[in-house]
Structures are given as C-alpha cells and as structure tokens.
Amino acid sequence: MSGDSSEGITIDGSVLEGGGQILRNATALSCILGCSVIIENIRAGRSSPGLRPQHLSGLEICRDLSGGKLNGAEVGSQKVKLVPGKLKSGSFLADTKTAGSVCLLTQSALPLMLFADNPTEVRLRGGTNAAMAPPIDYFIWVLKPVLERFGITFECILNRRGFYPRGGGEVVVKANPIAFIKPVELTEFGQIRRIFGLSFVAGTLPIKMAHLMADSARSVIRRFDKNLQMNIEVKKETDRTAFGNGSGIILVAETSTGCVLAGTGLGSRDVKAEDVGFHAGEELVRNLEQGGCVDDFMQDQLIVMMALAKGRSRIRTGSITLHSQTAIHIAERMTAAKFTIEKISEKQSIIECEGIGFENKVLSS
C-alpha cells in the first residue's frame, strides 16, 4: 500500500474485502478527524471496478457534511481525494437516483452527524431494501439499539420503501451531536427472550408471498427451539409506503442482556418466497448458534465507533468476517486506535479496542 504524504493519507481500495466499505469508513474518518484522504484502486477486483452511483452519493454527502472538496469523484473513477473542512449541521440530501442502498449511505453520514455543532437531518433516497446491503429495517431494529449502547441516539424515519431497479425509497435520519462516543462491553449473550419480525410485500405482489416467507421462517426457528416466543408481522405495503414491486423479511432476536441479532431476506423473481423465508430463518439461527453478542453483519459496522470511543470496548462476536478485518485495517490505518482479536472458540471471538477518545470540540469546550 502506498504511504502517507503531505497531501494526506493514501488508502488502497483493493485491500482485503476491497469494496465500498473501504470508501465509507475512510471518508467518514477523514471528515471527523479533519485529515485529507486519497483512495486509489477503488473496487479494483470487482466486475465493474471504480465508483458506482451509490458510492458517489456517499462521497458527496460526506463532502457536504464536512464542507469539503472532492477530486476525481465520478462514476467509474478508481481514485478520489477528499479534503474535508469543518463539520456542518443543518439539513442535507443524498439521492442515489438508482436503487443504491440508503442504509450504506447512513454508514458514511451518521458518524459525521454526531460530531457536528448542532442537530443535523439527512434525507436519503434510493433503495431501502437492496441486494448486498442491510435493509432499512435492520438499521432501525438492530443497529440503532446497539449504537445506543455507545451513547449514540438518533431518529430514523422510513417514509417510503424503494426496490431494484428504480429505487424511489426515502429515509430521513435525524441526530443530535454528542460530546464523545462511550466504550461498550458486549460480552454476555444471556438467554433469548423473544423473536419478532416483519414479512412484507409491495406493489402488485400478493400478500400470500409474505405469509409464505413468514411461515417458512417460523418452521426453521421452531426446529431450533420450539419454545421461543415469536411474533412475525405480515404486511402489504401501500402505494404511499412503497414505490414499485418488492418483498422482504427480517427476523430479530433479543436476549436478556440486551443483545440484538437478526436474519434477513430479500425477495427476487428467481427465488421462491418460501426459500427467502427459509434462508432468513437459517441466517438468524446460525447467528444465534454462534453465541456472539452481535450478528455477522453487525461486526464491521461497529469498528469506526470503537475506534473513536473514549475508552476500551470489548465485543463478543461469531467468527471474524472479512468485512470486519477490512474495517479494522482502515481504522488502524487512519487513527491511533489499536484492535486485538481473541479467538475463544471455533465459533467465537472477542474484538477489543482502545479507542482514541475523540471529542466534539464544540460540546467539550
């Protein structure tokens, strides 16, 4: 990987997982820390290398929130430079103009909103339920309560669902600034208290598909533990609450110690509704069987917060994912935070980090 220079920190966008996550984490840390970043070899190993529209939207919202400057930011570009300014509060808009995931946009925007000088609102448009990305329901029902353990509170309003290929979804995220991020200790799994979820269809798709997804998911969970309390809502979205045809399911497990884990599924023309529900159920059960305090998709989304936190964080996880390894690499590359991974069994590890104790200068002065 290229070294640092007077122009800023240089990040190799092809390292490890080599995807858009490197862009999101590097640009967020760049804006918060006030250091320029150059990201090269962006998505070099992908079939369509370089920036896609959703990646460009993520860069642009970081630029806007930081009052910064972007060079090389266009679809297909494999090298960009971001020179951040001062973090801003106010109202902002990020529109992928495609079905690009709005949830991935929030991964870039939310950390910046926390260190602004006043409340910030970001309106995000695109796909709320998209392939290769967590659904908006995961962001609200799973990520939000976990981030609250870090002292992070925010509001996320789902105005309208949007799906491939036209997008059209809209989410509004509102956050108040905080003085610093608290460290967390998430190491005790506890007992599973309940499982709840949502199985939905939108557009011209029949409600029967939502029932099939829910029934299939229930059967998988009952084989895991027939005594678990389960409440999976079945819903037909209206033309006001969704744009276009789409379907999906989310299953959420809560434990006695406050752990929140999930399994999700996205409907597709090529996959039967029963199979979508079955795979979502299997995903949840796999996460529960591992005994981690966060699921596989949560791991990497907490790394930036752990790096910035004021103190030592410890989180029990399942097997360390490549996304988590990549997020740790970027965090250590851009901050003085130090991570250690302790493997405690074949299925479990503990991620520990001594955060840099970053403070919001406006609130701490």
Q: Which residues are catalytic?
A: 323
Largest interatomic CA distance in the chain:
61
Which residues, in sequence order, are CB contacts of 209 under 8 Å at separation 6+? 201, 247, 267, 273
Q: Among candidates 118, 90, 123, which has minimal Cα distance to 176?
A: 118
- Cβ-in-10-Å burial (0-12, 13-18, 19+) of 49 comes to middle
The distance of Cα 142 from the centroid of its chain, to the nearest Å, equals: 10
Token pair belonging to 254:
């809560």
Give how far the C-alpha of residue 363 lies from the chain's centroid of Cα atoms, to the nearest Å: 26
d(CA 62, CA 55): 11
User: What string of DSSP letters covers 183-243?
Assistant: P-EE-----EEEEEEEEEEETT--HHHHHHHHHHHHHHHHHH-TT--EEEEEEE--TTTEE
Residue type, 179: A
- Beta bridge partner(s), residue 125: 95, 170
Tokens of 41: 């070899």
Closest CA to 181 of 261, 106, 111, 103: 111
Q: Which residues of 256-271 are buried (b: 16+ CB within 10 A; e: fewer)?
A: eeebbbbbbbbbeeee
β strands within the chain, DSSP E: 9-12, 37-40, 69-71, 79-83, 90-95, 120-126, 154-162, 169-175, 185-186, 192-202, 230-236, 242-243, 246-255, 260-266, 312-317, 338-343, 349-354
* Token pair for 34: 């006030």
Residue 173 tokens read as 């995220």
The beta strands (E) that lie in 244-284 are given as 246-255, 260-266
